[in-house]
Chains A and B, each alone.
Chain A
């Protein structure tokens, strides 16, 4: 048995694998699995593009195209152009091709983290096609635009530069930017195609300041810029000392190798919330002798780490994060863009032959709430938004992490749990109200919230998001994250409750009004049976009176700050009838109760 698992010479061979080869062989680690290759490619390119703009506060304009090149062999051409800072020419080959080379290995809130995405595209392109990867880059520091044709040497994790040129004729239309064109072999199922559309749509919700132009074989759509406010870019932050380990400390020492800095200085300069006193305290607690920093051995260093872990520090900084912010998220929610495919093939004759278009959802109101908290010693901002009503007609939960939409694994995401746990009665309504007034046969869930025309948005931003998997698709319920999310959602429920209660009342009133009309024939029948009257005329007169005069006196419009259109409420006309009606008090004075009193007690006559 044993002999079979061991090579014939009885010795195990130990090979070193290049990073590139490792990632190509284990592409699932980076989310590049068969079905999802194109989805991941789109995602990585958009994320890189937006990061590259935001780092220098440039209002992003991203053009992305995904078109089939060779249907027989599943060849797709994907291109992406942005107006970001670009990549310096000398860094381009490694930045594009060499795995684990990134400008993003710093403690900072960024969309991308691993420096893997772009390299995956390059490697897959190299692996599956004979097309070179084409890259254009332009930075404000260099007068020329540079053009590269690249491939990855998968066996060594090194770039192969097939061609490199500096051009005065710009292919990139902005002062700086980056453009990439890659050929990928992949299948695209309708499900994945919709995920890509969702991804682009949702990206525009949290990046309403970006222009995104997306072209596919089905046509082209353009997401307009809805605000020119951009969130302040995130900044790099020193690690918090309570997270210190041997590796972090050694790296900190390494950063100061060439300077005669003491271990005290290194602690102070490499960690946040580390005052001179704190550093002293730690060193005395660690009981290590003071010497040149590089002279410490691991045994001594671990003492420092331990001392550090036993010391209490102030909570981490939060100002380095870049939340979306109320203004921007509201701009995104107020005009929620999404890509819709035209289903009818009948409209071929139309001028536009695009089969996809942008649908804009405009809610009646939006609300925003945020909380800053510390999760696993890292500052984390939880943002929550609600868009309600208008032409939103169903429930939907949107999840974002560091401004990236999360589309898969919703069921295991903490946001899903939070939505399930916050009771709808926080809105001052009951499940019964919702079931009766928002009944929707298409909704399978028995959760009342999912019957409401409501979109809930959760955004978590942090230097390290507690993802459940490397694919970055769902967030784990770490620490008190859930508590803060719940508190945000509860807050929002309370704030939209007035509107929802109002709509429930209006719906009830509508139902009753509908019923009302059924009562008129009963009244008219009763009257026309008793007295001689034209039933038809009476019915008409009654109905027209009801239409003009009957309203819901108790329904008062609620002011909401983000109301766009009042007339999206279908029964706005109900309010009008609040105008004072002249009710005719019928004076049955001769038939009042006094008559009963005046009557002789009848019947029981004394004989």
Chain B
């Protein structure tokens, strides 16, 4: 069954082109093929001062069956390319986990048996490689992940043909951010600004307090590490709908890291930063100084681990945290060795976070 979608056809064409190249190398040129693929990871990630985000560097990796160590990777990429081609031909969509199962097998004989994929991470990497080879993000070839981002507030989406109003009057629930972004459109946005929080528990608390209605805000969370769809939604709201974006995460290096995913991007997805990163987003909290400024009781503070401290020391050297305020915050953390979750504000009362802390922070930065 041939794919009808034009972009899908493009992807299929590119995959077939790659297959033909390989066959021509082997059959006609009598040489082993080499895939020249952009390297992904920290050592090929470059901070762009101009774009204010992490961008991909010039390094590439050569994947070739030239030796026995690289053959598994090479085969994985080819097998995954074929699986993507099949998926598009059949006009189906799949999660990354689905692709892992679709290509699962074992290799070798009784004596030397090994798994084709050691873990799903390998198959995720192969999907990334197909993105890099075809130059098309996986959402475009119908491979998605399980939705985990949440959105609540005066915004209307259209998913496929269905309209979804996220301004759920009952304050009782949020809408999942769909991951099949090809089928997703933003119909209208009535909010004044977008507030991203680290965790869904915190989002639920804020939503329940009536924050959305009071401040005309959109509330979003990536439920921890944000998926691509959530990051993309944040970016679109900021750049295309011109809504200010503010971010609140826990006062620890881990939380700050998550906040920075939205603002500057990540090393593992730096090749896709243009599509995912919102450089104008403001990280407003929770600051390490807030622990003391807002008198979080000692019992609600956590002791920093060595890993936290190493991470903070590392962060201090990053160009995107070079300004004086962040240096001060990180120094404070390294000195006091204490961290804190947003949830700690509940110690001051269940409405404190939504009705005292957040409004004050927003006012200080001029968002409201």
Contact = CB atoms under 8 A, between A and B. Distances in A.
Interface of A: 509, 511-516, 518-519, 522-523, 525-527, 529-531, 533, 537-538, 541-542, 545-546, 549-553, 581-588, 591-597, 599, 601-607
24 contacts: A512-B69, A514-B112, A519-B75, A522-B78, A522-B105, A522-B107, A527-B22, A529-B86, A530-B16, A531-B16, A549-B32, A584-B32, A584-B34, A586-B35, A591-B17, A592-B135, A596-B271, A599-B275, A601-B232, A603-B182, A604-B185, A606-B186, A607-B185, A607-B187
Given A516-B68, A522-B105, 13 more contacts: A514-B109, A519-B65, A526-B82, A527-B22, A583-B34, A583-B66, A584-B33, A585-B62, A593-B132, A595-B136, A596-B135, A599-B135, A603-B140
Contact of A530 (B32, B56, B81, B274): B81
B240 interface: yes
B188 interface: yes
Interface stretch (B23-31, B281-289, B302-310, B360-368): B23-31
Contacts of B62: 583, 585
Q: Which of the listed residues B32, B85, B185 has the most CB atoms from chain A within 10 Å of its own CB? A: B32
B121 interface: no
B272 A586 contact: no
Contacts of A541: 26-27, 30
Given A519-B72, A519-B107, A527 B181 contact: no
Contact of A512 (B18, B25, B26, B68): B68
Given A591-B135, A593-B271, A603-B181, A530 B15 contact: yes
Nearest to A595: B135
A106 B182 CA distance: 100
A582 to B, nearest CB: 6
B29 to A, nearest CB: 6
Contact of A549 (B66, B75, B272): B66
B68 A604 contact: no
B78 A553 contact: no
B104 interface: no
Contacts of A531: 16, 19-20, 23
Contact of B67 (A522, A553, A599): A553
Given A584-B34, A586-B33, A552 B68 contact: yes
Interface in B53-77: 56, 62, 64-69, 71-72, 74-75
Contacts of B75: 519, 522-523, 526
B165 to A, nearest CB: 14
Interface residues of B, number: 75
Interface in B75-114: 75, 78-79, 81-82, 85-86, 105, 107-109, 112, 114
A549 B22 CA distance: 16
B131 interface: yes
Contacts of B65: 516, 519, 523, 546, 550
Given A509-B68, A519-B107, A588-B133, A538 B23 contact: yes
B182 to A, nearest CB: 5
A522 B134 CA distance: 21
A527 B82 contact: yes
Which applies to chain B's interface (DSSP): helix, strand, loop or mixed? Answer: helix
Contacts of A553: 67
B244 interface: no
A565 B134 CA distance: 51
B311 to A, nearest CB: 29
B235 interface: yes
A600 B66 CA distance: 36
B3 to A, nearest CB: 13
B184 interface: yes
A595 B20 CA distance: 21
Contacts of B79: 522-523, 526
Contacts of A516: 65, 68, 71
Contacts of A602: 7, 137, 140, 181-182
Interface string B36-62: 101000000000000000001000001
Contacts of B109: 514, 518
Nearest to B184: A603
B126 to A, nearest CB: 12
Contacts of B27: 537-538, 541
Contacts of B31: 545, 581-584
A596 B136 CA distance: 6
Given A538-B27, A605-B185, A586 B67 contact: no
B4 to A, nearest CB: 17
A593 B66 contact: no
A254 to B, nearest CB: 74
B14 interface: yes
Contacts of B272: 596
A288 B312 CA distance: 83
Q: Which of the listed residues B33, B114, B131 has the most CB atoms from chain A within 10 Å of its own CB? A: B33
Contacts of A593: 38, 56, 132, 135, 271
A515 B108 contact: yes
Q: Which of the listed residues B26, B36, B116 has the most CB atoms from chain A within 10 Å of its own CB? A: B26
Nearest to B140: A602
A527 B86 contact: no
B190 to A, nearest CB: 13
Q: Which of the listed residues A514, A541, A545 has the most CB atoms from chain B within 10 Å of its own CB? A: A545
B143 interface: no
Contacts of A515: 68, 71, 107-108, 112, 114
B21 interface: yes
B173 interface: no
B215 interface: no
B265 to A, nearest CB: 13
Interface in B130-165: 131-137, 139-140, 158
B30 to A, nearest CB: 7
Contact of B66 (A527, A581, A606): A581
Q: Which 6 A-B pairs have the closest CB atoms?
A: A595-B135, A512-B68, A526-B82, A603-B181, A584-B31, A604-B236
B241 interface: yes
B233 interface: yes
A232 B7 CA distance: 88
Given A527-B19, A531-B23, A537-B27, A585 B34 contact: yes
Interface in B227-258: 232-233, 235-236, 240-241
A533 B82 CA distance: 14
A14 to B, nearest CB: 74
A586 B36 contact: yes
B186 A604 contact: yes
B93 to A, nearest CB: 13
A591 B19 contact: no
A584 B29 contact: yes
B173 to A, nearest CB: 23
A578 to B, nearest CB: 11
B274 A607 contact: no
A545 B19 contact: no
B21 A533 contact: no
A527 B23 contact: yes
Contact of A513 (B17, B68, B185): B68
Contacts of A587: 36
B68 A597 contact: no
